[in-house]
Amino acid sequence: MFPIVASAANSVVFGRGVSNSDAQALGCEDDLGMACWYYWDIHASTTISGPPIRGRVRALALQHTDATSKFVRSVEFFVLAPIPKSSPHFSAGARYYILEMSPRREGTKYCIRRDPQELDVPVEKSQVAIDAHGQFCFDRKLLTRER
């Protein structure tokens, strides 16, 4: 399974999803097929925190179905964890796990499933709101020079 806690090696990046495809050879993490590995090709443009990542990279995420191309292209915020070179996932061509991702919502914010502080996203607890779906939401400006 992939890491679920923050690490100094994790990177918080702005970028854009390019494509999403089923990594069938890597299988699923459950018997129901609700948590299967999918490749994401991402164009990383800016590293907000953590080790720098730029350019096109291949990452893995657990999903229950294909993401639509419209959704993939809308995602611009990622928390990425490096895949160890000894992992079969690395051998399959992926270099990162996607711990969290979000399109921009309402033009100004990102919403993720886990507490941003657990992932070393550089926002203060007081700057995070929990929405009606239990997601942690924060303003994009908190991560940019526009502050």
First to last CA, the chain: 36
| Model pLDDT, residue 33 | 59
Going residue by residue through the chain (147 aa), what tens digit of pLDDT does each one get? 444 445 668 999 999 999 999 888 887 777 765 688 999 999 999 999 999 999 999 999 998 888 999 999 999 999 999 999 888 888 889 999 999 999 999 889 999 999 999 898 999 999 999 999 999 999 999 998 654
Q: What is the dihedral of CA 142, 82, 53, 74, to 10 degrees?
A: -60
What token pair was written down for 64?
Answer: 């229950």
For the chain, list the domains and their CATH numbers. 11-103 (2.40.50)
- Residue 134 region by backbone torsions, left for phi larger than 0, else alpha for psi between -120 and 50, else beta: left
Reported pTM? 0.89
**What is residue 2's predicted lDDT score, i.e. its pLDDT?**
46
Q: Alpha-carbon distance 11 to 116, whole Å?
A: 12
